[in-house]
Structure 1
Amino acid sequence: MIHELRIYYCAPGRLPALLKRFEETTLQIWERIGIRQKGFWTVAIGDNSSAVYYLLEWESLAELETKRAIFASDPEWIEKRAASEKDGPILTHVQNIILSPTAFSAM
């Protein structure tokens, strides 16, 4: 099992649009495809208060690559992503980290 930490940095004022897109669109498409999210976070105290952090769980890098490709080419995702960005881009950049648990991790 591997975990993927993704950090989405929002354009000024666009955090509500990103949260809405995850809640109303992305999560339903992920469920259909079989992408497993472990949690989402925003920053309550600290730097990057316009960022969203989330964790995905994968059986392997092969599963990650396969399901990411399916998601990226999904017609519903393409259409709804474009609609969510009609007022301009939501993200300025994305950070992607594949995590490996330590020997003493509770995971």
Structure 2
Amino acid sequence: MIHELRIYHCLPGRLPRLLQRFQDHTLRIWDRFGIRQAGFWTVAVGPSNHALYYLLAWESLAERGTKWDAFRADPEWLRVAAESERDGPILERVENLILQPTAFSAVK
């Protein structure tokens, strides 16, 4: 199992719009492609409350490549993304990390 940590740094005031897009559209579209989320978090205490952190679970990097590419090219996703940003961009930047568990990790 491979876990991918994605951190979406939003422009000020735009995090609610990103959360709405995930809740109303993105997760449903992911389900069609078999993209599995392992959790979503926002920051309650920390240096910035303008970010969304989430984990995706993949069987392999090959699965990730195939499913992620298909999702990013999906016409419904492209429409939803464009509509959600019609009032301006949501994201300042995105961080993406493929995590490797340690020998003593409870999650493998």
- Given the two structures, how large is their TM-score scaled by the length of structure 2? 0.98
Deviation (angstroms), 1:47? 1.3
Structure 2: give runs of 5+ residues left out of the alignment. none
Deviation (angstroms), 1:48? 2.1
Question: Identity of paired residues, percent?
Answer: 65
- Alignment-mate amino acid for residue 103 of structure 2: A
Give 1:18-57 correspondences, 5 Å limit.
18-57=18-57
- Given the two structures, how large is their TM-score scaled by the length of structure 1? 0.99
- Alignment-mate amino acid for residue 9 of structure 2: Y
Give the Cα–Cα distance (whole angstroms) in 1 for the partners of residues 84 and 5 of structure 2. 23
Task: Provide the residue aligned with 1:83 in structure 2.
Answer: 83
Structure 1: give runs of 5+ residues left out of the alignment. none
CA RMSD of aligned residues (A): 0.5
**When the two structures are aligned, how many residues end up with a matched partner?**
107
Runs (4+) of structure 1 moved beyond 3 Å? none
1:70 aligns with 2:70: yes
1:10 aligns with 2:25: no
Give the Cα–Cα distance (whole angstroms) in 2 for the partners of residues 47 and 77 of structure 1. 31
